[in-house]
Each structure stands twice: as C-alpha cells, then as structure tokens.
Structure 1
Amino acid sequence: MEQQPSTIRKYLKKIALWAIAAYLLAGVILYFLQDKLLFHPEVLPVNYQYKFDVPFQEMLIPVNKKVKLSAVLFKAENARGMVLYFHGNTANINRYAKYMPDFTRNGYEVLIMDYREFGKSTGRLTEEALYEDALLMYKVARTRFAPHQIVIYGKSLGTGIATELASVRDCRRLILETPYYSIHDVAAEAAPIYPYSLMLDFKLPTYEYLPKVTAPVVIFHGTDDETVPYASGEKLKTFFKPGDTLFTIKGGEHNNLGDYPFYHQKLDSILQL
C-alpha cells in the first residue's frame, strides 16, 4: 500500500509528458503547414482562357523580370470609377467573378488580381509581397481614375490587404466583407492553446492599419460566420471614426452574404454615394 502513491505519481507524470509531447508535436505540424492551412490556391496554365459573362480584359502585370501578376479588368459602361477587389484565400479569379456584376451594374469597373501562386500569377507568396502587389494594382487604377473614384474592397483574406492599402493610399471608400482583427486572432478562436503571434508567418494585422484609414469604412459581416468569427470583425469597431459603419447580417455565413437582399441594398446605396 505504501508504494501506491508513488505508482500514481509515475502514471500521472507519464500522462503529463505524453500530453506535452503531443502539444509540441501538434504545434510543430501547425507551424510547418500554416501556409497550406491558410492558402488554398488553384494554379492555372499560362495559356488558360478566361470566360466571363461580363465584358472583361485580361491583364498580365510585371512586378519584375521573374514575377508577373495575373489580373482581370471587368468593364462597365460609362464607368464612374474603379473597384480594386482583393479576394479570399481560395482558388483564383474564376471563383470570384460571379461577384463582379454587383459593382459593374453600379457603374464601376473592377480590377481583381490573383495573388502570387494563385491562378496564373507567379512568384513566392509572402505578406510583404501581398502589400507590394496591392500598391501595384493601385498604380494601375490611378492610370484610369483619380483617388476619389477608387473604391478598395476586400473579401475575407483580402480584407487585411485592402485595409493596409487604404492606410497608405487615398480612396473614395474602403469596404470589407467578413474581415478579421488579425490572422492570429482567428487562429486563436479555433485553437487558443498556441502563441500564434509568435508562430505565424502571416500576421495581416487589420487592427493596426484601420486607424490610419482616412476614407469612410464599411464592414459587412454575418453572425454565423464559420470561418472568420463575427466577434473578430466586430472588434474592429474599436477603431471606427465618425461615419464608419458595420452592417451586421443576422444568420449570414462566410460565403453567402450575397444571398441576402440586405447586403445588396446597402452595397448599392454605398456605391451610388
């Protein structure tokens, strides 16, 4: 009987060691697989031909001798401005083309690019590259329109990129669909047992950029978002200035806000301002 406490302690110690080992192993796996968990690109062959119902022009924008960005300009009759559209973390331009009529019917051309390693874009994907390429897209927009005619729009992953761009360049308005406070904030919601701020290569700290945006800001977010929790986007209200707005879509999920008439009503009214 005297040996029983010692046996129990050894057993508990063994369990603790296994638990620590499992925690560390899972952390290592998360660290090395983080890019695959965050990004889900679909690569397209160089000779791939886009086919869209909306009039468009394909563009290949050189960054340097080795890197080129694949982009598409969706056209509108008598365009009053341009939307710079930064898409989510999945697939390529093909996935997001269905949203372009929301803007073209309101008199806006839309310029959308594929991030490096997405679609026909080349080069290595890094956070710095995302920001640099966004600036390049803005430069292209400025050859056609003045800053007060340019709307910057970010969807999901693209919201951090869009906000960073709007923090350093003038625009008519910044519109964010299902935005996040930061990438590590979203990761912490899913599994709050790791120090993601130290682990993640991609930070995309939207909360750092939003206070520097002088243009009016509009956020759309659904309460049932299964990918970017509503709470993560709602925290951005802390940095709102007078005139900024959060439109809450009750029951809205991450990829279905376009199914709600409320979203279209508000988006149309904003684009007509």
Structure 2
Amino acid sequence: MRKIKTLLLWAASIYILVGVGLYAFQKKIIFRPESLSDDYKFEFNIPFEELRIPINPKEQLSAILFKASQPKGIVLYFHGNMKHIGFYGKYVPNFTSQGYDVLMMDYRTFGKSTGELSEALIYQDALHMYQIARKRFEPGQIIIYGRSLGTGIAAQLAAVRDCKRLILEAPYYSVEDVAKHFIPFYPHGLLLEFKFPTYTYLPKVTAPVSIFHGTDDHTIPYASGEKLKQYFKPGDEFISIKGATHNNLNDYPLFHQRLDEMLK
C-alpha cells in the first residue's frame, strides 16, 4: 500500500509539473520566431516593397508586398509559426504567377515586427493588412490565405471581412484540439492563452472555403483539419493530399493544380 501511495504521489507531482510547464512555456512551444535587425536586407526574386506599419510610437509591424506584373487581385498570406517572412517568400510565386500581388506580415516578435504577442493583437494586425489591401482592391479581388498557424488567423479575418475566397493549408480545428492530441489528460482550455478556435470562425465565413491537408501530417494532425468539414456550406471543399506531410504540400502536383484553379 505504501508503494502504491508513493507511486501515486510521484505521478501526481509529474502531472502537475508538466501542466505548469505547458502553461509557462506555451508561447515558446507555439511560436518559434526569428528576429531580424532593422537594417536586414530582404532578397527575393520577385519585385517587392518592404512596409513598416507603426502600431504605436514604439512598435511596428513588418510586411512585404510582393508584386505581380499586372495584378488582378491580392493574396493576404498568413504564415506559419516559425522564422520570418524571408523563409516563406519561396511560396509567393504560386500566386504572383497567377496574377496576384501578395501581402505578407510578420507577427509581433517575428522578423522586424515588434510589440507584445497576443491572440487578440494578432487578429488586430491581420485587420491592418486587410485595410492596406482595400486601398487598392475590392473585396472580390482579395484572397485570404492561411498556412499552419496562420490558418486560424486567416479564418478569423475572413469571418469579419468580405473576400473572394478563404484558403487554408494544413489547418487545425483549434490549438486546444492539437494540444489534446499530443498531450492528453490536461485541461487545455484552462491552460492555453492562445486558442485560435478556427471552428468558431468558419461558420461565419460567407466566401467559398478551400482546405488543403496532407494525410501524413503529424504536426497538425489530418484528423484535426478534417473536423472542420462539419462547418462547410455548399461549395466549400476539403482537398486531401495523399502521402503529404505538414511541410511538403507544395511538392505535390494536385496541390498546384487545384490552387491554380482557385486563382483563376
């Protein structure tokens, strides 16, 4: 009996310590930014303009406007949880080749963006990007695109602003849903500061919704993205890329074929 009590005590202690660790280090688990100095020079093989957007006297957002030769619209691209804009520039030709400018921002603490990192402020910053796009394009010319972490941000924006289409690449039902998959038996709803509940936004999106997800995605499980299908309206689509993982959807012809169709 004493051994059992000791084991239970150890188990409870480990459970509590892991829970405290999850709560304390969730920002570092979810976000993996790479900061850049203000004088860092971006280099891309596509014409671009670097934007600095003041959010208060001490803080700024960094964004890049990639330019198509004769743009018929613009893609608001919300990237994943790692590095900075420079890493994601390789995906921009998918859109500029089809006649779309691309506006991509770095979240606060990523790249040259500064300021406090919070879910509410990220949504606010995404709205700034939409307002910039609206200065040149009508809602029917704006595509909102989210990749990985950015899918929840893209979905929230499309829920409150009109657009031509919402495209989500490797999305999640919610951050809580992904956390439960990897670390079950914890009250993630109480522990998580960042929740990005995509499932609450999708029913409010009036534009067509297209989702890409690889069947072998072990970063954001395929099942988490697939759960979003229950919120589809007529015309929305879920495109499974057989054998694809989280980071290589761009290597599959089916991905490009369907994306090109959406961008026509």
The aligned length equals 264
1:148 aligns with: 140
CA distance in 2, matches of 1:135, 1:233: 24
Compute the displacement of 1:66 (Å). Answer: 2.1
Question: Is it true that 1:34 corresponds to 2:26 in the alignment?
Answer: yes
2:240 aligns with: 248
Q: Which runs of 5+ in 2 are unaligned?
A: none
1:122 aligns with: 114
2:66 aligns with: 74
1:161 paired residue among 141, 153, 163: 153
CA distance in 1, matches of 2:159, 2:257: 27
SS of residue paired to 1:63:
strand
CA distance in 1, matches of 2:254, 2:214: 11
Over the matched positions of the two proteins, sequence identity in percent amounts to 61
CA distance in 1, matches of 2:17, 2:179: 17
2:228 aligns with: 236
2:40 aligns with: 48
CA distance in 1, matches of 2:54, 2:73: 24
TM-score by length of 2: 0.99
TM-score by length of 1: 0.96
Q: Which runs of 5+ in 1 are unaligned?
A: 1-8
Question: Is it true that 1:12 corresponds to 2:4 in the alignment?
Answer: yes
CA distance in 1, matches of 2:210, 2:42: 31
Greater radius of gyration (CA): 1
Compute the displacement of 1:151 (Å). Answer: 0.1
Question: Is it true that 1:134 corresponds to 2:160 in the alignment?
Answer: no
SS of residue paired to 1:95:
helix
Compute the displacement of 1:71 (Å). Answer: 0.3
Compute the displacement of 1:234 (Å). Answer: 0.3
CA distance in 2, matches of 1:174, 1:229: 20
Question: Is it true that 1:109 corresponds to 2:93 in the alignment?
Answer: no
SS of residue paired to 2:162:
coil
Compute the displacement of 1:140 (Å). Answer: 0.2
Extract structure 1 runs of 4+ deviating beyond 2 A. Answer: none
Cα deviation, 1:161-220, whole Å, max 9, x if unaligned, reads 000000000000000000000001001000112111110000100000000000000000
SS of residue paired to 1:45:
coil
SS of residue paired to 1:136:
helix
